[in-house]
Amino acid sequence: MFGAGQQNLNASRLKSGIVNEPDPTISKSLTVSFATGVSVKRSLGEDWNIRTGMNYNKITESNVDVSYVEIPVISEYKIVNKHLKIYFTNGFGAGFKQSELYPLGMTGFSFLYPLNKSIDFNLEPSYKHVFGKEWTYKADFYGMMAGFSVKF
């Protein structure tokens, strides 16, 4: 399943995003999210990848800060394989806030544009849902992440 020709490990991520979400208690609200981390991607065949890593996330809305560490496991399915590669992504993870563990579900798309043989620019619009009553003021997050992938 993991033949020598299919070993493709990517380390990636320095990502940030700005998210516009309505807050029911405030008429207009800007949510700012910053995330940084490292992930490793493994090819599972021609169209499938699996990605995992560790991200530090900080979300600020209306002077409320939420910081947490996230360990995602994400599957990627290639839906377009032209010069611009497009993947459908879906996965789960764990968010660690203070001493508590919160399960996460996530889905989105990943757009990869190759800059050369070993570096890709990626753009990832995504949706995350955090399971757990005590997480924060809201459990759903929409975001746009950008970063670079480096192939070794």
Query: What does DSSP say about strands 48-61 and 30-43: parallel, antiparallel, or unpaired?
Result: antiparallel
Closest CA to 95 of 56, 127, 125, 124: 56
Cα 94 to Cα 27: distance, rounded to the nearest angstrom: 31
- Rg of the Cα trace of the chain? 16
Taking the complete model, does pTM exceed 0.75, yes or no?
A: no
Question: Which CA distances in Å does 25 have to 32, 67, 136, 152?
Answer: 17, 21, 14, 47
Query: pLDDT digit string (tens) for 48-86?
Result: 999 999 988 887 766 777 788 989 999 999 999 888 999
- The C-alpha angle 52, 141, 91, rounded to 5 degrees, equals 30
